[in-house]
Structure formats: structure tokens, C-alpha cells
């Protein structure tokens, strides 16, 4: 159990490390087209045949606004937007395919949002068939999508199953009616039960629930009730995220007062209670808010040190190239990142002109790549070693003092050559990763000095 003083010390704004450097430190520059394409092609040529590549498709439309949400979304009840948007996404994908020297081997597809199940089963089928046209599917592929329990139908599940999907992630957040009213996401338990049972009946082999702690009006009693109901349904994986309260970025979060939110100690207690209930129910703590049954692929990948982390979160298939399609999507090029424009209007306009729909990106230095490796090792495996690595001297001179403090506080076990997270340290995983973030510890000239991140807990 973390002490109040430890919580106060480490509950500061730090990144979630789905990339390194993290997005606020990329600046507002757009790398030269030839430069980022060279990086993409180098990674593709080296990895396509064996690893394959990943595709993330952002589907931004939602019928109603969930006030807690920090994702890029467009609220509308006009489903006439569906074919227009999907045509643009496939147009963007065609640009990538024209650039690639051989057929892409698709290892992963993830549909995120927004609400992917805003789209009709027919349109989603057309999207996936379009993505796979002119491509090959890796024999060890994993296709997944995010579903809303209120509108994910058997037809959605069957249509996506028919084109290779076996994993679905349902946004649960919280089952308390009071909390649901506050965050404007009324989602009866029976809808979740039905969506889960339908997925299993269709043949989905992995069902994930997303839950959030730190939402307005959550209490230990309400969160315990939520977990009791969730555990009865036995989802294969559970992500238990910290609510990121950033009302200066997300105006919808001003719908409730900060006084309605659990305070620091209360918020940590919510996390610890949920974690304990999951551990008691047989789940294992994978790290960075994720839990799964021991036999589930996520846990197996961690034990075999195959777990990877990117903009899709944790993944069992480590692909070095992830192409993001759709508005606001981010591509991970291996040694660089590129992000698409954030409004559908800009996205459509740039594609109509034959342009790439991007507005910023970043190409990594060798030092960036070394630090990213350590951050990923900690986030995915709970340990890292620097003995004999190119960054050894830098770590010993500049980072080791901060690691000594983490050790004194009981978050890590430290040697001269590496570190291992402790059980207590798992509660502050992001803070341990942050010790290796040179942009936080020694800001680089020209980069933002005050990036906006959510609290660590």
C-alpha cells in the first residue's frame, strides 16, 4: 500500500509512453516527405515478410458525447457520413500501397474511435475488404475492434468475425448509474451482458473490458460493485485506466466540478481495490493498467518477453511498422512518427488534393531509440539492463541518481547494470519510465517546456 507521502511525491503529470519521445515533444514540424518515406521504407523492407505490419484505423464518429472522453471524436447522428469517411480512409491506404515496394503482410488491424460500431456491419466489412485488397494476411494475425455495448449487434460481431476478427474491446468505464449520468454514458449492465454473450456465441476468443478509475462520484463501494459484476462475466482482459482530467484541453470535462472527483488518496484507493479484486479473481497484473488471465495471450507474451507497446496500447505481436489511417491517427515508422490532421474537413481536403493528410511528425535520433528501448523494457517486462548498451555511460552519469531515489522509495530493485520493478513500483510504472525520459529531465532547446500530461495515478 502506497503511503500518502509517496503518492503526493509521484502523482505528477507524466506520459503514458505509447511512444518515445511523446507527442508534445515532437514540436509542430512536418518532416520532409522524402525523409519520413525513407524511414518507412527502410523499416518495411526489413520487417514486412517476417513480422508483417500493423494498421490502426481511427473511426471518429459517435452519436452522443461522453464527457470524460479525451479521444478525437465527431458527434453526429447522421450516418450518411459513413461511406464518405471510409472512402477517404481507403484512399489514404492506396497512397501507402503505391509507395510500398511489395505486398504488405498485415499482422494486426485495430479499429479505434470514436465508436467503430457507429458504422454499419456492411460498411465495416467493406472497409476491411478494402484494407486487405492487394495485401496478404500474416498467419499469426490479430484483428481487433472497440465496441460500444449499447450498439454492438450480433450483425457487427458476425461481419467482423467473417473477415478475421477474433478480439473485441468493450468500453465499460463504470456501472454506477450516478457515475454514468455524470459522464453522459448511460449503459445498463444488461447491454454489457448481451454484448459479451453475443461475442462468445459468434466465436470471439478474446474479450476486453475498459474500466476507468477517478471518474466523478466514484466511491470504494461503487467501484467494488462494478468489479463484482464485471468479474462475473469473466472477460479475458481488463484495462483499468486512470481518468485523465484535462479540462483545459477537453471542454466537455467541465460538465462536472473537480470537487466531484476522487482526491489523490481516494483515487489510489480505487485503483488498489480494483486491482486486488482482479488478482483475487485470478487475473494477473500485466502492467500499465492491464490485467489478464494467466493463459491469455497478453500474459503469455509478457512471460516470454514478447510483449510490445505502441499507440494501440499493449500488443502481443511486435511489429516495428504501424500505419495509422484516418483523422488524427499516428503512424509508428520504427525510427519516426507521423500524425494525421485532426479534423475530418482537413483530412478530406488534403486527400482530395492528392496530398498526404499529415500535419506533424518526428524522426528519432539514435539516443531517442536507446531511451525508447529502456522505457519499453520497463513498461512491457518490468525491468531493463544497460550494461554494455550504447547509453550505459549516459545512464550512469545522468539517470542513475534519479534511479537511486526510486530505489530508496521502494519502487525498484537497482544494480549497477539494471533495474527491476517491485510490486509497489507497479503502481507508479509511468514514473519509473519517466526517469529515462530525457525530454522531461533535460528539456531540449526548441521543444515545449510545459507539455500537458495526466497525473501518474
CA 89/CA 69 separation, integer angstroms: 23
Residue partners of 8: CB distance under 8 A and separation at least 6: 264
CA 412/CA 436 separation, integer angstroms: 14
pLDDT of 445 > 50? The answer is no
pLDDT of 163 > 80? The answer is yes
**Nearest of 157, 111, 165 to residue 137 by alpha carbon:** 165
Three-class secondary structure of residue 140 per DSSP:
strand
pLDDT, residue 248, reads 79
pLDDT of 115 > 50? The answer is yes
Domains and CATH numbers, the chain: 20-325 (3.80.30.20), 365-441 (1.10.10.920)
Burial of residue 387, with CB atoms counted within 10 A of its CB: 0-12 exposed, 13-18 middle, 19 or more buried:
exposed
Across the range 7-34, mean pLDDT stands at: 87
* Euclidean distance between the first and the last CA atom of the chain, given in angstroms as a whole number: 13
pLDDT, residue 329, reads 97
- Of the given ranges (91-100, 195-204, 222-231, 387-396), which has the lowest mean pLDDT? 387-396
> Do residues 39 and 369 touch, judged by C-beta distance below 8 A?
no
pLDDT of 383 > 60? The answer is yes
As a three-state string, the secondary structure of 225-238 is HHHHHHHHHCCCEE
CA 300/CA 315 separation, integer angstroms: 11
Respond yes or no on whether the N-terminal peptide bond of residue 21 is cis (omega within 30° of 0): yes
pLDDT of 450 > 60? The answer is no
pLDDT of 371 > 60? The answer is yes
Q: What is the pTM of this model?
A: 0.93
Please provide the DSSP assignment of 154-217 as one string: HHHHHHHHHTTEEEEEEEEE---HHHHHHTT----HHHHHHHHHHHHHHT-SEEEEEEEES-TT
Half-sphere exposure of 73 (CA within 13 A, CB side): 23
Residue partners of 189: CB distance under 8 A and separation at least 6: 175, 229
CA 97/CA 106 separation, integer angstroms: 12
Neighbours of 8 (CB within 10 A): 12
Question: DSSP class of residue 455?
Answer: B
pLDDT, residue 320, reads 93
In tens, the pLDDT along 39-76 reads 999 999 999 999 999 999 999 999 999 999 888 999 99
Mean pLDDT of the chain: 92
- Of the given ranges (11-20, 22-31, 380-389), which has the lowest mean pLDDT? 11-20
As a three-state string, the secondary structure of 250-299 is CHHHHHCCHHHCCCHHHHHHHHHHHHHHHHHCCCEEEECCEEECCCCHHH
C-alpha radius of gyration, the chain, whole number: 21
Amino acid at each position: 500500500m502506497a503511503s500518502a507521502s509517496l503518492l503526493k511525491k509521484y502523482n505528477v503529470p507524466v506520459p503514458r509512453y505509447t511512444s518515445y519521445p511523446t507527442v508534445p515533444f515532437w514540436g509542430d514540424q512536418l518532416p520532409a516527405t522524402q525523409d519520413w518515406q525513407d524511414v518507412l521504407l527502410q523499416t518495411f523492407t526489413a520487417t514486412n515478410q517476417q513480422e508483417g505490419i500493423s494498421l490502426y484505423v481511427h473511426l471518429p464518429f459517435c452519436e452522443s458525447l461522453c464527457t470524460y472522453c479525451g479521444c478525437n471524436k465527431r458527434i453526429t447522428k447522421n450516418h450518411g457520413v459513413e461511406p464518405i469517411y471510409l472512402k477517404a480512409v481507403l484512399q489514404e491506404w492506396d497512397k501507402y500501397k503505391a509507395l510500398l515496394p511489395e505486398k504488405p503482410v498485415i499482422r494486426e488491424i485495430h479499429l479505434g474511435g470514436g465508436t467503430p460500431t457507429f458504422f454499419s456491419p456492411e460498411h465495416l466489412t467493406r472497409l476491411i475488404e478494402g484494407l486487405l485488397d492487394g495485401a496478404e494476411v500474416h498467419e499469426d494475425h490479430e484483428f481487433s475492434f472497440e465496441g460500444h455495448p449499447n450498439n454492438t449487434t450480433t450483425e457487427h460481431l458476425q461481419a467482423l468475425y467473417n473477415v478475421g476478427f477474433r478480439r473485441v474491446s468493450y468500453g465499460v468505464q463504470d456501472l454506477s448509474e450516478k457515475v454514468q449520468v455524470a459522464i453522459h454514458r448511460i449503459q445498463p449492465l444488461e447491454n454489457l451482458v448481451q454484448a459479451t454473450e453475443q461475442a462468445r456465441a459468434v466465436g470471439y476468443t478474446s474479450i476486453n473490458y475498459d474500466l476507468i478509475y477517478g471518474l466523478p462520484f466514484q466511491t470504494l463501494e461503487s467501484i467494488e460493485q462494478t468489479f463484482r459484476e464485471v468479474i462475473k462475466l469473466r472477460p479475458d482482459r481488463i484495462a483499468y485506466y486512470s481518468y485523465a482530467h484535462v479540462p483545459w484541453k477537453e471542454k466537455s470535462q467541465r460538465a462536472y466540478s473537480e470537487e466531484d472527483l476522487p482526491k489523490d488518496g481516494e483515487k489510489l484507493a480505487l485503483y488498489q481495490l480494483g486491482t486486488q479484486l482482479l488478482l483475487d479473481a485470478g487475473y494477473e497484473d500485466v502492467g500499465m493498467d492491464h490485467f489478464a488471465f494467466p493463459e491469455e495471450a497478453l500474459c503469455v507474451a509478457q512471460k516470454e518477453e514478447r510483449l510490445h507497446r505502441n499507440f494501440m496500447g499493449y500488443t502481443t505481436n511486435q511489429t516495428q511498422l504501424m500505419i495509422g489511417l484516418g483523422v488524427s491517427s499516428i503512424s509508428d515508422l520504427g525510427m519516426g512518427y507521423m500524425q494525421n490532421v485532426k479534423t475530418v474537413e482537413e483530412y478530406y481536403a488534403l486527400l482530395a488534393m492528392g496530398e498526404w493528410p499529415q500535419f506533424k511528425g518526428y524522426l528519432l535520433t539514435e539516443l531517442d531509440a536507446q531511451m525508447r528501448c529502456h522505457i519499453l523494457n520497463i513498461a512491457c517486462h518490468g525491468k531493463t539492463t544497460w550494461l554494455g548498451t550504447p547509453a550505459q555511460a549516459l545512464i550512469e552519469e545522468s539517470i542513475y541518481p534519479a534511479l537511486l531515489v526510486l530505489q530508496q522509495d521502494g519502487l525498484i530493485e537497482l544494480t549497477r547494470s539494471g533495474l527491476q520493478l517491485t510490486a509497489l513500483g507497479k503502481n507508479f510504472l509511468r514514473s519509473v519510465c519517466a526517469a529515462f525520459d530525457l525530454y522531461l529531465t533535460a528539456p531540449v532547446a526548441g521543444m515545449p517546456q510545459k507539455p500537458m500530461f495526466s497525473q501518474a495515478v
